[in-house]
Amino acid sequence: MSQATLAPHAGAHGHHGHKADPFAYDPAVDAPAEHHAIYDYDSGPPVERGKFAIWLFLATEVMFFTGLIGTYIILRTGASAWPNPEERLAVDITAFNTFVLIISSWLMVRALQAGQKGDKAGILKWLGATILGGALFVGIQVYEYIELYKHGSWPNVDIFWSTFYAMTGFHGLHVVVGVIWLICAWFGAARGKYTAQNHMGLELAGLYWHFVDLVWVLLFTIVYLF
Amino acid sequence: MSGHDEHKNFNANKIFLWLFIFTAVEVAWGILGHKWHVGKPLLWGGLLFFALLKGVLILQYFMHFRFEGWIVKGLIAPTPILIAVIITVLSPDVACNGKLNNNIGTSFDPKTGQIVELPEVAARKGVLPHNAPAPKGADAGGAAH
């Protein structure tokens, strides 16, 4: 933690003496009479900046997906009829895709554990497998969209498809961003960026990836099984 | 937290196994629930229970939330309240459904350019609107696979 000592205002606690330059800070004159611990410490939040930022970002992401899921629930419960998702969607393939994403999340945990040990080869291996899992998830989702397109299931057909594409599409976009982020992290690891002492970049990428997994767990239930 | 990871040791394999089991049970419950007509409260309740259980495991362990300090927990704490606010704010849309131009249960037909009733809704009423496409058996909206 950096030691950002703040210059206290002259006169607040200090002694008023005579100085050659009245605007210059002179510790002998301007230093507080009694010790204030707050001046010795960083005034930032009691957590790493990157982690604070990513959690703040994830909180906004929660609200983003809440808007989508909330709208879906309201439309769904307000509809006089709603088709059975099983009759329109391939639940078995998507269930497999859910397992893929959960496995990739577990692989990410292993990658971070390797990072905590400073095991570069381990990071590359587990992170590489995580990326493959993410890419497979996106591939299966693209396949699903192509099949739906062939059957004429467009977003403008009815409210079921509108909400389906809105929710799964935005989530898919997040997965793509996550895969790109993980690829960047992988190249960072290959350059020896992460050590046992500093692997924050890897942890931040992991937090985002787990969040994407968490959102899918809820989306899968609400969209495919409800 | 880099350099302070000693307290974050947990058995990731065990958590993964639970996630795997809960997903399998959830999928089975979703499929069998529809097949056995267990009723929406029981079906949705069971599904939500398993989904939230998995979400909590991912958040608490994989995302290390339970090992974080007050500031991270404080950042996430308001979100459930905001979620409730969003749902509440959206609720009048359903209450005013009858006054909407494009009612829930209807869809825009790109061929005719008109708002038509969903085939499922029409079939339920026993009457098909003149400009609505006829439902193809149970697969009214076009099955994916």
- The pLDDT of residue A202: 95
Q: Retrieve residue A140's tokens.
A: 């299966």
| Strands B114-117 and B106-109, sheet pairing | antiparallel
A19: closest CA of chain B, how far (Å): 43
Q: Identify the CATH number of the domain in which residue A165 sits.
A: 1.20.120.80
The answer on A66 and A166 residing in a single domain is yes
Q: Retrieve residue B63's tokens.
A: 């995302």
The answer on A202 and A108 residing in a single domain is yes
- The pLDDT of residue B126: 60
Half-sphere exposure of residue B3: CA atoms within 13 angstroms, side-chain side:
5
- The pLDDT of residue B68: 87
Q: Reply yes or no on whether the pLDDT at A214 is more than 60.
A: yes
> ∠ CA A171-A71-A94 to the nearest 5 degrees?
35
CB contacts of B47 in chain A (<8 Å) are 221, 225-226
pLDDT in tens, A44-63: 667 888 899 999 999 999 99
- The pLDDT of residue B145: 38
DSSP A26: -
Distance CA A226, CA B72 (A): 32
Token pair 């029981």 is found at B42
Q: Reply yes or no on whether the pLDDT at A22 is more than 70.
A: no
Q: Reply yes or no on whether the pLDDT at B98 is more than 70.
A: no
Structural domain harbouring A23: 1-44
| Cα Dmax for chain B | 70
Q: Reply yes or no on whether the pLDDT at A13 is more than 60.
A: no
The answer on A175 and A140 residing in a single domain is yes
Q: What ipTM was predicted for this assembly?
A: 0.76
A49: closest CA of chain B, how far (Å): 11
Which of A57, A160, A197, A226 to probe the B interface (max B CBs under 10 A)?
A: A226
Other CB atoms within 10 A of residue A122 CB? 17
Q: Reply yes or no on whether the pLDDT at B104 is more than 80.
A: no
Distance CA A221, CA B55 (A): 11
The answer on A85 and A12 residing in a single domain is no
- The pLDDT of residue A71: 84
CB atoms B79 and A66 under 8 Å: yes
> How far is the CA of A221 from the CAs of A18, A139, A216, B75, in angstroms?
73, 20, 8, 26
Q: For residue A41, report the phi and psi dihedrals to the nearest 5 degrees.
A: -120, 160
> Is B139:B123 a contact under the CB 8 Å cutoff?
no
Q: Band of the pLDDT at B127, cuts 50, 70, 90? A: low
Average pLDDT score over residue span B33-43? 86
The answer on A221 and A128 residing in a single domain is yes
The answer on A148 and A76 residing in a single domain is yes
pLDDT in tens, A154-192: 888 888 899 999 999 999 999 999 999 999 999 999 999
Q: Is A61 an 8 Å CB contact of chain B?
A: no
Nearest Cα to Cα of residue A61 among A183, A180, A178, A197: A178
Which of A74, A103, A215 to probe the B interface (max B CBs under 10 A)?
A: A74
Token pair 């992170």 is found at A127
> Is A157:B106 a contact under the CB 8 Å cutoff?
no
Which of B72, B96, B99 to probe the A interface (max A CBs under 10 A)?
A: B72
Q: Is A109 an 8 Å CB contact of chain B?
A: yes
Average pLDDT score over residue span B7-27? 88
Lowest mean pLDDT segment, chosen from A83-87, A206-210, B64-68: A83-87
The answer on A1 and A35 residing in a single domain is yes
- The pLDDT of residue A56: 93
**Residues 145 to 174 of A: which have CB under 8 A from any B CB?**
147-148, 151-153, 156-161
The answer on A5 and A53 residing in a single domain is no
Q: Give the dihedral sign, CA A130/A132/A138/A140.
A: negative
Q: Retrieve residue B58's tokens.
A: 């991912």
The answer on A77 and A99 residing in a single domain is yes
Q: Retrieve residue B119's tokens.
A: 């085939």
A141, A146, A149, A153 alpha-carbon torsion, rounded to 10°: -30
Q: Band of the pLDDT at B107, cuts 50, 70, 90? A: confident
Total number of domains in chain A: 2
The answer on A184 and A80 residing in a single domain is yes
Average pLDDT score over residue span B98-123? 70
Nearest Cα to Cα of residue A38 among A67, A8, A68, A66: A8
Other CB atoms within 10 A of residue B136 CB? 11
> Is A97:A142 a contact under the CB 8 Å cutoff?
no
**Residues 59 to 78 of B: which have CB under 8 A from any A CB?**
59, 62-64, 68-69, 71-72, 75-76, 78
> Is B140:B120 a contact under the CB 8 Å cutoff?
yes
The answer on A67 and A29 residing in a single domain is no
Q: Band of the pLDDT at B47, cuts 50, 70, 90? A: very high
**Residues 68 to 87 of A: which have CB under 8 A from any B CB?**
70-71, 73-75, 77-84, 86-87
Residue type at position B1: M
SS3 of A58-101: the string is HHHHHHHHHHHHHHHHHHHHHCCCCCCHHHHCCHHHHHHHHHHH
A44: closest CA of chain B, how far (Å): 11
Average of per-residue pLDDT values in chain A: 85
Q: Is A46 an 8 Å CB contact of chain B?
A: yes
Q: Reply yes or no on whether the pLDDT at B42 is more than 70.
A: yes
CB atoms B93 and A78 under 8 Å: yes
The answer on A112 and A32 residing in a single domain is no
Higher pLDDT, B9 or A35: B9
Determine what percent of chain B is predicted with pLDDT higher than 70.
68
